[in-house]
Structure 1
Amino acid sequence: MFRRLNKLGIYKTKPDDLTPEEVKKFARLDIDPDSITWRRVMDVNDRFLRKITIVQSPEEKGTHVLVHTGPFTNIAHGNSSIVADKIALKLVGPGGFVVTEAGFGAYTGAEKFMNIKCRYSGLTPQCAVIVTVVAGRPLDRAYINKNVAMVEVGCVNLARHISNTKAFGVNVVVSVNMFATDNEAELNAVRNAALAAGAYDVVICTHHAQGGKGAVDLGVAVQKACENVTQPLKFSYHLDISIKEKIEAIARSYGASGVEYSEQVKASFISYIV
């Protein structure tokens, strides 16, 4: 705003100090509409909008989707809002199911979901689904060909995710997203490793190719897991311990033997309520 005022030869900083003439100069009302141009234009024919049913997907028989705050754990706690979850629970009723995402995997999104969101909201999950694939993308050439041994080595990471999630007292179902490049031996290696790590069930899912039809077995497994809850929800730490102890509890859950603090961090502890 000040740059525009300066270009007009006006060097005032308070709107109330502007004269009527200066206001007229600053906010031009005599613009010729034919002189306005746009760098980008999108033309949408609104007759197609009349066919849309808001928050429903006809391909999935009217499944509601509530998007309220995003599951981006690099900028926040990595979960959708408590409001969205409570609305969804009210919509589906006592016998329904609500799927809510914890972004960035079991090592951040899920941990914050349990320790922060569930603790604050009082919501209790009956099941956790960990999604995995045989091989990530992009791939080095060494990972393209069949290599069961390499898959088994990589499953150590998956096992830790399962262990950490089970520690909260929920049943864990592992969903293995299958792609055309996967082979049965490697898929079985993932399945066996997940079950050995304590997963309630492991489902090979083909919804990447088949849509909702390819995830029906996953839905059945989740329903069974929810119906067979045997433990209450557990948290990684109690609220009545110090911030230092909370950090160390989280670090241990990730496999750390300890935490080293800089002097600056140590000094900042005093600003937290402990």
Structure 2
Amino acid sequence: MPTSNEDWAAAAPLYKQVERLTTPPCQSLLNRVSALLPLNSPSTSAFDNGCGTGVLTAVVKTLYPRVPLLATDASDGMIGILQRRIDDQKWAEVTARVVDSRTLDGIKDDSFTHTFSTFMVCLAPEPEKIVREMRRVTRQGGVLGLAVWGDPSFGPFTSPWERACRGFISDYKPPMLMDANWTLARNVEAGLDEAGFKDVEVWEEDLAWRWENAEAVSEYFIDGGNPANLRTIDSFKAQGGDVSQARPIFERIVQEEWGQKNGSVELRALATLATARK
């Protein structure tokens, strides 16, 4: 079930933990998109749809500081953080606005040469509407760059959590967090084709997510307020589970499975990335 804008606003202050994971694939996606249609070409304009705290925006402005860019998100908390980044970094020609990605009200047809969305479509309500709207606002011949999570259950957290919880509730199963139609590579390709994009290219990237230790993983997953994580935690509570009992087992499993020699932890997450043309 998709989460509300208010949920994401509450999670925004700690979203820097996710930025550590999403920055590398955003850089990879930007490179592939710019190879198809250079971002330093004349009359270029970029759109970061579902921008969150501005990871993709930051990557674009670092490499192509003169590109005009509109960044939108449905969460005012996310936009507030991005606006502070814009002011602090003195990024030129960046506009941040609260906009519903399903309608993109106020954005004209054929507005952008480059349209991006990173790790939003898979978590949002009505993803097909969002993708159609992104096509609408992209210029003819323009390029889409899309990134979503490649696992609808988001295994880095849910796999060890499920194992920990089954010690108390033998048939416990965490909820599916995302729509498989917008996570699995073959489905993403089909969805972009259905939306009317052409020259669709889809690939997967295995990402490293490094943490100081298992306790840091647990602190973010259980206490960090991320709406997707809260759904998983609440599903255990709803069946009578005690989080305080499951937590140390979760930490032990994380350390055993992904712990490094220096005590740190390296989780792995799968991303599905795609480029396409209008």
Tell me the TM-score normalised to structure 2 length. 0.29
Query: Which protein has the bigger strand share?
Result: 2
Question: Higher Cα Rg: structure 1 or 2?
Answer: 1
Using the size of structure 1 for normalisation, the TM-score is 0.29
